[in-house]
Structure 1
């Protein structure tokens, strides 16, 4: 049976993680249909139609899907999902919000956070904060799956010519509604899409000291992240958290400053191509995964690094 992938987008642009999710769909070896649900998102559907991995694009353009609320979007996916053998979401905030509801409505198990496809019914996923990889097999007729984007290389975004088919909106869901968005504006790249990430931990001491990271991030064109310890201490907001309960990143360069390297944090960044650690504790676990390590006082090292840049 064919595969349905739910597109991640902001009604204007397709999110890069969709290309990683499509790589997982391609590995299943069947025709791939991409669902674009939103409002005023015709441009997203047109961009999606140029992806070679996509056989067909379904466009549901309606006010009901403007904010991609889980209740409305899940009902739409269930409405069209019976004809597909696999339904794939990116393992993002939106995907993790919608997929469980879809699985429950279809009365099937959800397969979460896969990093490899072994067969049409067999997948690999990390467990125990990434310390082990489980191979799971599902006998469900429809497999609802979330895909860890860092586990798959993105497919090409250009070169295809898939048709776009319009869908009518499903019945509205009246028990929930969107109230408002509160978005943090930043000139820096998104944390999950940045090629360079610099993160601070409890060793930063306080939130004001994160300005030391900001100065370096500006020169490197990097995103700024944080460990859970820094977030729990109130140094920075939780949307900056990297780790098992935060955002999963795999940039070309990851710089960990004042981060001890607890399992929870390593689960969110250990797939980074190059890892640099700065910590005054030479026994910190972060050095076990770091490609380059500097044992020293971050308050001396960071100004020196900025000056060199």
Structure 2
């Protein structure tokens, strides 16, 4: 398995969502060999991510050209005029002239909230998620055309999508001038999305699996429970023992062998090294098939659930220009 995708993106990257002391984490990740950093405006830590990158470059650990930096357009900036503003804010925070990949974070348009109202952006219209979700009527085509303009002027070397299904991809492919380079999706042994992965690969769209370790990032925030933890799966522990690897390395290797790049997160230096050390062994065809049998269709990060929760009785969700409904 090659260590980079067809577009030159390293197959293993560092996920920056929910990471603490991220400047140090990014610096340490680069120091141990990572060259792919996955960030987003909504993670609220791009200034710190940029500081970690600058420190690594200043110390000669890498050059800017060695790195692949991804960021994402948040839902409140889907209108044509807001896309370049949002990208520039990300570049300013990261301290970069361009990102290697810029993704539409989710196929959900929310009403615009100015930077000076609050930033980093969140789901609702007030700081601290205290307000209401206000959906906006922005065609995905409008947002994509603005993304294409970013690539044309060099602010993003590549553009792509995230959390997008086959139906929306088919629509996008019918009108795009620049095909999405990447679709970043939740994928782990309990949510493998084989049909979506196969569609993307058939159309030359790289797939990046986020949360490839499964429930680990969701256990502490009420979106997963202990029975969702694949690290307790007997099949995986058995395969790991056979290869003298950890369960984490096995589930990451599973994604690589099915052609997906991965962006696991860790703040521990030893775990960072472990997550990167997934190219020195290979799962057998029988082991791959057995792991495929673990499919549960268990999704941990579901935007539809977030909006449904805010739309429950007693909460507030609105469509721009229309009354609030619940």
Question: Do the two structures share a fold, i.e. TM-score over 0.5?
Answer: no
Please give the TM-score of this superposition, normalised by the length of structure 2: 0.26
Please give the TM-score of this superposition, normalised by the length of structure 1: 0.26
Q: Which has the higher contact order (CA 8 A, sep 6+)?
A: 2
Higher strand proportion: 1
Q: Which has the larger radius of gyration?
A: 1
Higher helix proportion: 2
